[in-house]
Amino acid sequence: MRLKNLRFEKNDDGAKAVATVIWEDCQRPTQELYFSTTAEFADSISCNPHAFLVACIMPALHFGEKRLSIEGEICPELKEGLVTAMNWMRFWWYKPDKKLVKIETKSRTGYPQPRTPDRAGFLFSGGVDSLATLRYNRLNYPSAHPGYIKDGLLVCGLEIREPRIFEYVMDSVSALAEDAAVTLIPVYTNIRSLGPEDNDDFWGKFWINEFMGATFSAIAHTFAKRLTRMSINSCHDIPSIIPYGSHPLINPIYSSSDFRILHEGIALSRFEKTRLVAGWDLGVQHLRVCNRTEIYKPGQLNCGECEKCVRTMLALLAVGVLGKTNVFSIHDLNEEIVMTTVQLASNTLPLYEELIFPLLERGRHDLVRAIRRKIVDYHKLEKYKKLRKTFIEPILEYDQNYLYGSLRALKRIIFPGGAIWTK
């Protein structure tokens, strides 16, 4: 992969940092990658090569590019961090012989002069993790502290891609920004075009496993002219840490010598974050957790029916504020809703487990019963997956490679059932 023609474009509508991405070892077309903002913040972004390098490193690794060459000088600290991040990804998601991308750059010889004054920002999505980061910051950091958050970035081009939908979210988050004295900065990007843009299955896996932290960090580096640190909101607390694209071992090493990436909120569980946000009434009234952006309407940004909405409603109910907010169309839950909607995964299992005791304290034995049944079902499924991977898949592979499928053919005759044998 080569990153060429890095350029900064500015007009009356705003400013844009652009680079040409040339794929060399996979069948993907040459494309333009950009990060942009509105005219109000046009002087806050720059064509920082760090942003494009961080944005492209994980797609280059995933699609098998042998090298990543980029114009411009790169901080050696960032380059070292990217090599470490690739090693983590290989350890977590690939075979040990997976070739890492060779980074071909010129090394930066010193700090930019003059230095950007200390200024902190964060990702202002309006979700629980995001609002908890801001709420914790306001309760614990004095305004003169360099870590006091002054700017919030709201991104269009990730889960929100339609400008009309983005405006709905901007309107909602603007009320929170004004209340918390945060400057809200809209950011636009086509970073999803580095993969099959409309393939939700691909992005669901690649985003979660490899790309989340890199994406947020790339966007942050675009604003290195304005900011010196960026807080990425943690998805998990310490006991719940799993291999993940946004991770305390990964996000900070996307930093450079003059720009810090912080992984915030790792000491708080999701329920503790919800309880923290519950103490901010306006935050509860503007909470946005739903990823079904196609159903968004002005003033209604949560469907109230998906797993993420139901999980958040359970937490709000457990802290006693679900009935005090109108961000969801319903103000109570029952056992049937939980059983119908909730599907546990490794990254959401701890989020439900921690709700059991607070829900019991509120006498919601019906909801606890449903959650426990879901947890039992999850562990049964995981046991099945482990059994298949340990015993069945090696047999299937041997049968396919050496017996030409005769074992499976014989099995179908003798035992027609048994999905564990299906491949």
| Residue 369, burial from CB neighbour count under 10 angstroms (0-12, 13-18, 19+) | middle
Cα–Cα distance measured from residue 20 to residue 328, given in angstroms and rounded to the nearest whole number: 42
Q: Are 310 and 338 in contact (CB under 8 A)?
A: yes
> Is 299 a domain residue?
no
Q: Give me the sheet containing 31-38, strands edge to edge.
A: 102-107, 67-74, 2-11, 14-22, 31-38, 183-189, 149-156, 120-123, 229-233, 260-264
Across the chain, what does the average pLDDT equal? 93
Report which secondary-structure segment, H or E, holds 18: strand 14-22
Q: What is the pTM of this model?
A: 0.90
Looking at residue 174, what is its pLDDT? 97
Give one DSSP letter per residue of 301-332, joined into a string.
Answer: ---S-SHHHHHHHHHHHHHT-GGG--SSS-S-
Task: Examine the pLDDT at 421 and tell me if it is beyond 60.
Answer: no
Task: Examine the pLDDT at 206 and tell me if it is beyond 70.
Answer: yes
Q: Please write the tens of the pLDDT for every residue from 316-368.
A: 999 999 999 999 999 999 999 999 999 999 889 999 999 999 999 999 999 99
Cα–Cα distance measured from residue 281 to residue 126, given in angstroms and rounded to the nearest whole number: 13
Query: Confidence class of residue 423 from pLDDT cuts 50, 70 and 90?
Result: very low
> Is 289 a domain residue?
no
Work out how many domains the chain is built from and give that number. Answer: 1
Looking at residue 99, what DSSP letter applies?
P
Task: Examine the pLDDT at 410 and tell me if it is beyond 90.
Answer: no
Q: Please write the tens of the pLDDT for every residue from 274-288.
A: 999 999 999 999 999
Looking at residue 417, what is its pLDDT? 61
* Structure-token match 């998906």, residue found: 306
Work out the angle at residue 248's Cα, subtended by the Cα atoms of residues 375 and 293, and round it to the nearest 5 degrees: 60
Query: Confidence class of residue 418 from pLDDT cuts 50, 70 and 90?
Result: low
Q: Please write the tens of the pLDDT for every residue from 44-101.
A: 999 999 999 999 999 999 999 999 999 989 999 999 999 999 999 999 999 999 999 9
Looking at residue 403, what is its pLDDT? 77
Looking at residue 402, what is its pLDDT? 79
> Is 159 a domain residue?
yes
Task: Examine the pLDDT at 172 and tell me if it is beyond 60.
Answer: yes
> Is 303 a domain residue?
no
> Is 51 a domain residue?
yes
Mean pLDDT of 243-250: 97
Q: If we measure between CA atoms, which residue out of 42, 54, 58 comes closest to residue 92?
A: 58
Looking at residue 283, what is its pLDDT? 97
Range scoring the smallest mean pLDDT among 184-193, 282-291, 393-402: 393-402
> Is 247 a domain residue?
yes
Q: 114: cis peptide before it, omega within 30°?
A: yes
Range of the domain at 75: 2-108+115-264
Mean pLDDT of 161-165: 92
> Is 20 a domain residue?
yes
Task: Examine the pLDDT at 422 and tell me if it is beyond 70.
Answer: no
